[in-house]
Amino acid sequence: MQGTREREDMLHLEHSWTPNIDRLAADGVMLTQHIAAASVCTPSRAAFLTGRYPLRTGMVSSNGYRVLQWTGVSGGLPPNETTFAKILKDKGYATGLIGKWHLGLNCESSDDYCHHPLSHGFDHFYGMPFSMMGDCESWEMSEKRAGLEHKLNVCSHVMALAAFTLTVGKLTRLVAGSWALVICSAIVALLCFTTSYFMGALIVHADCFLMRNHSITEQPMRLQRTTALMLKEVSSFVKRNKQGPFLLFVSFLHVHTPLITTENFRGRSPHGLYGDNTEEMDWMVGQILDTLDTEGLTNSTLVYFTSDHGGSLEAQFGNNQYGGWNGIYKGGKGMGGWEGGIRVPGILRWPGVLPAGRLIHEPTSLMDVFPTVVQLGGGQVPHDRVIDGRDLLPLLLGTAQHSEHEFLMHYCESFLHAARWHQRNRGAVWKVHYVTPIFHPDGASACYGRGVCPCFGDKVAHHDPPLLFDLSRDPSEAHALTPDTESSFHQVMERITKAVEDHRRTLSPVPLQLDMPDNIWKPWLQPCCGRFPLCWCDREADPQ
């Protein structure tokens, strides 16, 4: 089970009521240094499914587009990448994905499905091909609508002014030429104004819809019933496939702006709407665990719970914090190297196999799930490509004392921002920052007013020498070490520099899926239930 975007690390919400996640943790193994491969969703999810850094699969950008921007884009997880779902499907597993995808859909037409979950090893999909966002509801925070409306309003004003100026010029004979230019300017102004007026509805229909396999079932989504639909689908999948081996990836739409929460949970948490949404997500976890209990599958099922990145500190409106909190860890979503953006919860439960209540304080990665489940499913990790994940089983079972990760790299888009070294003989976890975002305003702890911190340009700081921290002594990254305060400063820098050089030699150039032109909306790629652009349908039975 994977949460989405703003992290649901209940260890950081001291007063939230999360009995089901607590039950998972008490009955399983907790990874206290579990690291996402990216601090935003699209690249992190690609790394999770493939066991490879996003830069290897091309699921990054170099121009500021951090995630896939629309459903109707041609970018996505390349067809030649191998997911753990594909390997397990080939080994006879029923494979399902329920929830958020956000790894692309089509390449050349609206129904070629080259990036669809069913093209990446899942034989059943139900959920959002895109991502939950504030624009899916008329909400006070907007990811796309507000910016697009502003640009279109500027367009309409400029073109209207041009039409007016040309008209006056023509009537006073100060401007020569045809009236065609006046008419064209007026038409463009009208188009920009009309598009701006309907932009919110266009986004909702373009991105906020549900699919079952290749068919759209609800466009746009009726958000208040989505939770019930997801749980119904989980229960149905488990019951259909309980007689054989199955892999089910439940990718929650919680906890994510606009924090869609059903009436039963609204107003329950002292943490406001974010807390309400978190408690509902915990209840969903409980419903899934209860389904396993009811079907007699608890002792034969490995359950894994995590998040794809840290909380979004910039997701604020007035005095309301909608993006979560990262506890003692500095930074948050969108920050390539700071711990708050990439350290995520990691819980694994397998009664009778994994020891209950165990804590593992070793660096591990979301990419480790790939070789771990492939090994458990009787498959083989591909040998024709670099796999960055490491099998977790020896660590989980206690037959190994240390993680196989000596080094981990931390990217922001295609730019290396930080790297960590687990020096096992000293018990130290060193981390160097080559680039960090410049927080805004001065003295802040995030990039407030900018949506998300940038990865390059004049809004980041380059450090020479790099910033050095020992996370084993300073997990908050509050005190950068110097040659005066750390006797092994230069030796640590030399060792990590060598590791970065070795890592870069393993990289091969690939097309960047999140760059232009693969990450702009293309009308011919837009999935539509009905006649475009009037995309509307409701084929869902009431789940209540």
The conformation of residue 70, written as its DSSP 8-state character, comes to -
Tokens linked to 369:
């799930």
Catalytic residue among 41, 107, 412, 528: 41
Residue type, 544: Q
Residue 538's nearest CA partner among 237, 256, 251, 225 is: 225
CA distance 46 to 52: 8
102 is catalytic: yes
Residue 100's nearest CA partner among 129, 72, 78 is: 129
Catalytic residue among 102, 254, 405, 417: 102
DSSP string, 487-518: TTHHHHHHHHHHHHHHHHHT------TTSTTT
DSSP string, 106-137: -SSSTT--TTSGGGTT-SEEEEESS---GGGS
Residue 142's nearest CA partner among 256, 262, 257 is: 257
Residue 235: burial class (beta carbons within 10 Å; 0-12, 13-18, 19+): middle
Residue type, 221: M
Tokens linked to 337:
């190297």
In sequence order, which residues have a C-beta less than 8 Å from that of residue 223 and are 6 or more positions away?
136, 137, 208, 260
| Helix and strand element counts for the chain (H, E) | 12, 18
The conformation of residue 157, written as its DSSP 8-state character, comes to H
Residue 432 bridge partners (DSSP): 419, 468
Residue 106: burial class (beta carbons within 10 Å; 0-12, 13-18, 19+): buried
C-alpha neighbours within 13 Å on the C-beta side of residue 9:
32
Q: Give the H/E segment covering residue 206.
A: helix 180-207
| Three-state SS at 34 | strand
Q: How far apart are the first and last CA of the chain?
A: 23
Residue 9's nearest CA partner among 278, 272, 302, 348 is: 278
34 is catalytic: no
Which stretches within 210-343 are classed as H helix? Answer: 226-241, 272-294, 339-342
CA distance 125 to 113: 12
Residue 96 bridge partners (DSSP): 124, 248
Hey, which residues are catalytic here?
A: 41, 102
